[in-house]
Amino acid sequence: MTKSYLIKLFLANFVFNIKEMCGRYSFAQLSIEVEKWFKIHVDGNTYIARYNAAPGQLQGVITNSNPQTLSYLTWGLIPFWAKDSTMASKLINARSETILSKPAYNKSFHSKRCLIPADGFYEWKKMGKQIIPHHIRLKSLEMFAIAGIWDEWISESGKAIQTFSLITTSANQIMKPIHQRMPVILTPETEGAWLSNDLKPRELLDFLRPYPDENMEVYEVSNLVNSVVNEGESLKIQAKPTHQLSLF
């Protein structure tokens, strides 16, 4: 995907994200720590740490077809039956409530599931004319896995392109003041089951619930995260609140 396409993809999804989507997350851990936490192999020579993971980029995921290794897929699902790649910009998220009924997601939910490693995600809260970015993470500061689905699409040239979409659910209490949706965060106990073939789709739906809000925290961050070209630890640093409560 070209740089100009990525920028257009981001701008389209940023506007839509305010209403519906989770359009950015972070996963910036040492490769050796990722190996220990998820008990997988990570190639340190190709490992990509992301402070500002965005649609259209290659991201590290753990697929059910290769559960022992961190693989790199493009964020933005292209179903195997798609005529072209344009659907990717609209399929960065899959709603848990309709994942079994939507043709773009149904087959992948049955047979192509993945874990999306993360250490936090971003959402934007609309406050008057301002849109304020926030970073949401676990209070424990531990890594976690977002539930995802993936697919493989063959281009006209015969190239196999693997893509993914993360699954969202309704917001928990800590998220509701910011956004109506949130990513499905799996517990360490359910990660293995999500990748296995032991459970039926209806049983897997039980995993797609809001994460307990008492185990999460949220804070404002710099507007630097608004641009996909920005990377680095500074994006996750808590920013001075851009608003103050009035006493009158």
Residues involved in catalysis: 22, 123
Write the DSSP assignment of 55-92 as a string of letters.
TTSEEEEEETTSTTB-EEEEES---TT-SSGGGGGG-S
> Is-contact 151 79, C-beta < 8 A?
yes
Residue 159: helix, strand or coil by DSSP?
A: coil
Q: Where are the alpha helices (DSSP H) in the chain?
A: 3-17, 31-38, 103-111, 188-195, 201-204
Instruction: Give the Cα-Cα-Cα angle 181, 145, 116 (nearest 5 degrees).
Output: 85
Alpha-carbon gap, residue 23 to 28, rounded angstroms? 17
